[in-house]
């Protein structure tokens, strides 16, 4: 495919903060426009970015080769299945769908129709996370934490786990090359069934253990990856600070001044990876089957 035509569905927060700034660069693709059922928002945002404003999903699909889907999770199944049926490749925010059954059906549909379906787990493309993974050797254990300063509720535990903790679980699977086995852990909730904090411990076929943790009222939004192995400890804080502690010394590396936050957090390379898959007819690294495995593991922690 030469210079794919790209469209967007949904113009909420992540679309405005992340994907519109990237896609409007039109590096080796053309960004034709977007659809949102909110006519006022659609008109305002599309006008600001000087892209086409489409009045329906069908109108948008007719002008695109691939579509980025940033609508609500509840709408993922209907939107993505419609686009796949129309012969479009799709990049969709995590989770793949609101339920496991819907996620399984979308994975089956993309395979049956031979369409690319990538899920936006950006941490797999964050430069410092990739660097840390490449340095893993004789690893004893890994700990991944993703906290919130003050974010208990209003949604229930299942929603929060699927919306946020899924990132942590997927990163753990990625670091373990998909080899997570036995899981133990706790999920603590309040009387309103809202998540307070959760943590889990996994064994891996690689021989090390992985711990994951999240506190919803930690007083900080810290995200940290820590890898403990023979001779050194590697830490990545908030995806933009790398620390390597060895021989009683700490070496700290900061991102170059020109590197954007979207690049540091993996969004730019995730988009470029999807575009390369379109251009060179490759299977996305985070396809529907891979995303489904992370969602299945996450849901098993709630049982």
pLDDT for residue 2: 83
For residues 262-280, average pLDDT: 98
pLDDT for residue 294: 97
Same domain, residue pair 58 and 24: yes
When the pLDDT of each residue in the chain is averaged and rounded to a whole number, the result is 97
Same domain, residue pair 189 and 105: no
* Alpha-carbon torsion, ordered 71, 72, 76, 77, to 10 deg: -140
Same domain, residue pair 100 and 179: no
For residues 218-245, average pLDDT: 98
Let me know if residue 296 belongs to a domain: no
Please tell me the distance from the alpha carbon of residue 281 to that of residue 175, in angstroms, as a whole number: 26
Let me know if residue 295 belongs to a domain: no
Radius of gyration of the chain (CA): 20
Q: What is the pLDDT of residues 18-55, one digit of tens each?
A: 999 999 998 899 999 999 999 999 999 999 999 999 99
> Quick one: pLDDT band at residue 303, thresholds 50, 70, 90?
confident
* CATH code, 214: 3.30.360.10
pLDDT for residue 271: 98
Same domain, residue pair 227 and 280: no
pLDDT for residue 265: 98
Same domain, residue pair 61 and 148: no
Q: Is the dihedral of CA 225, 158, 187, 217 positive or negative?
A: positive
Q: Is the pLDDT of residue 1 over 80?
A: no
Range of the domain at 172: 127-259
Same domain, residue pair 222 and 132: yes
pLDDT for residue 26: 87
Q: What is the pLDDT of residues 110-128, one digit of tens each?
A: 999 999 999 999 999 999 9
């Amino acid at each position: 495919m030469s210079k794919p035509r790209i469209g967007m569905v949904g113009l909420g927060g992540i679309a405005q903060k992340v994907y519109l700034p990237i896609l409007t660069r039109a590096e080796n693709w053309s960004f034709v426009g977007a659809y949102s059922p909110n006519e006022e928002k659609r008109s305002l945002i599309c006008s600001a970015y000087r892209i086409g404003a489409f009045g329906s999903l069908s109108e948008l699909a007719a002008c695109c080769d691939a579509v980025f889907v940033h609508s609500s999770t509840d709408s993922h199944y209907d939107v993505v299945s419609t686009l796949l049926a129309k012969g479009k490749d799709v990049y969709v925010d995590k989770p793949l769908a609101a339920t496991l059954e819907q996620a399984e059906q979308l994975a089956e549909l993309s395979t049956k129709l031979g369409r690319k379906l990538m899920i936006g787990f950006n941490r797999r493309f964050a430069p410092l996370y990739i660097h840390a993974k490449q340095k893993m050797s004789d690893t004893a254990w890994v700990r991944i934490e993703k906290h919130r300063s003050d974010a208990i509720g209003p949604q229930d535990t299942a929603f929060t786990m699927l919306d946020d903790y899924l990132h942590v679980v997927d990163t753990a699977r990625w670091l373990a090359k998909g080899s997570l086995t036995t899981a133990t852990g706790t999920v603590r909730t309040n009387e309103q069934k809202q998540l307070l904090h959760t943590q889990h411990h996994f064994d891996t076929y690689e021989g090390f253990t992985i711990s994951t943790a999240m506190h919803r009222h930690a007083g900080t939004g810290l995200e940290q990856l820590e890898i403990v192995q023979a001779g050194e400890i590697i830490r990545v804080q908030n995806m933009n600070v790398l620390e390597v502690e060895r021989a009683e010394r700490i070496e700290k590396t900061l991102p170059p001044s020109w590197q954007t936050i979207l690049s540091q957090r993996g969004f730019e390379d995730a988009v470029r990876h999807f575009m390369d898959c379109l251009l060179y007819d490759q299977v996305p690294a985070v396809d529907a089957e891979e995303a489904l495995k992370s969602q299945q593991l996450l849901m098993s922690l709630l049982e």
